[in-house]
Amino acid sequence: VLRYDPENGLRPLIFEGMTIPGYIFGNLESNLVPLVNHAGNVAIYARNSSADTPSVIFFCRQGNEPRVVAATGQSAPGTGEHFAYPDRSRSRSVESVFSNVVLNARDQIAFVANLSSSSPDQVENGLWITGPGGENATLIARVGDAVEVAPNDQRVVRELLFAGPSGNEDGAASGMNDRGEITFTAQFTDGSAAVIVSDSLAADALDEDRGTPVSRVEAGAKMPTVAVRATLPDLNGVGL
């Protein structure tokens, strides 16, 4: 992946054989997707992953070397499991363990990832968001979770739908805004679905002049961590 800026011109950002802190795998996936945010910082992940290549998400601030945000085999925060390895029973290219990666103006990274409990018949995955700088990933939701959509009404998540990939500067669909609010759709085991918003790691406001988040915390001012915005019934078995 090459990067161009007026001060430094064209230079390599990440390349095969590069030493990257936290990256313990020998080879580097060639099918890399860069996502650039408002500040020019970059998240990089592989859209597809061959059976012998680990999946990984990198983050690089301007002037700094890339570092690992999440990788195959690492502990998946909030689950007691690990991020899965690509299916090594297949010889062709397979979908990456990480998908729908989004980078916002706070340098937060949201992503969907498959878990080690996944099988060819059942994908077990979850949705995570990091803090600013792409650090300390926090689980937002995962398949198998029970979500309270109304008082005394809990439903079990069968599938998560989250919009990405995007750097929030490219016009692509994004499930995370620059404050760090997350919006996703949960499909439940009873056939219904809900649009869910989480602001567990969101900033309190954006500086209108700079377009960057600032902290304006007031006691009791924040929304609930998870809020169900709309619940959709089972439409005769037709999904979203």
* 61-105 pLDDT, tens digit each: 887 888 899 988 899 999 999 998 766 554 444 567 899 999 999
Looking at residue 230, what is its pLDDT? Answer: 57
- The tens digit of pLDDT for each residue in 127-162 reads 999 999 899 999 999 999 999 988 999 999 999 999
Is 115:82 a contact under the CB 8 Å cutoff? yes
Give the mean pLDDT of the chain: 80
Looking at residue 65, what is its pLDDT? Answer: 83
- For residues 57 and 143, what is the distance between their CA atoms, to the nearest angstrom? 21
pLDDT for residue 114 is more than 70: yes
Q: Classify residue 86 by its DSSP letter.
A: P
Banded pLDDT at 239 (limits 50, 70, 90)? very low
Query: What percent of the chain lies above the pLDDT cut of 90?
Result: 45
Closest CA to 50 of 33, 21, 28, 80: 28
Looking at residue 8, what is its pLDDT? Answer: 79
Q: Regarding predicted confidence, which is higher, 238 or 138?
A: 138
Query: Residue 6 forms beta bridges with which residues?
Result: none
Query: Measuring CA to CA, how many Å separate 227 from each of 2, 90, 125, 219?
Result: 40, 40, 20, 19
| Mean pLDDT calculated for residue range 26-43 | 83
Is 46:33 a contact under the CB 8 Å cutoff? yes
CB atoms within 10 A of CB 159: 15
Per-residue DSSP letters for 56-74? EEEEE-TTS--EEEEETTS
Looking at residue 34, what is its pLDDT? Answer: 92
Q: Which of 22-26, 158-162, 212-216 has the highest mean pLDDT?
A: 158-162
* Cβ density class 117-150: b for 16+ within 10 Å, e for less: bbeeeeebbbbbbbebebeebebbbbbeeebebe
pLDDT for residue 1 is more than 80: yes
Is 68:56 a contact under the CB 8 Å cutoff? yes
- For residues 156 and 120, what is the distance between their CA atoms, to the nearest angstrom? 21
pLDDT for residue 203 is more than 90: no
Enter the pTM of the model: 0.81
Looking at residue 62, what is its pLDDT? Answer: 83
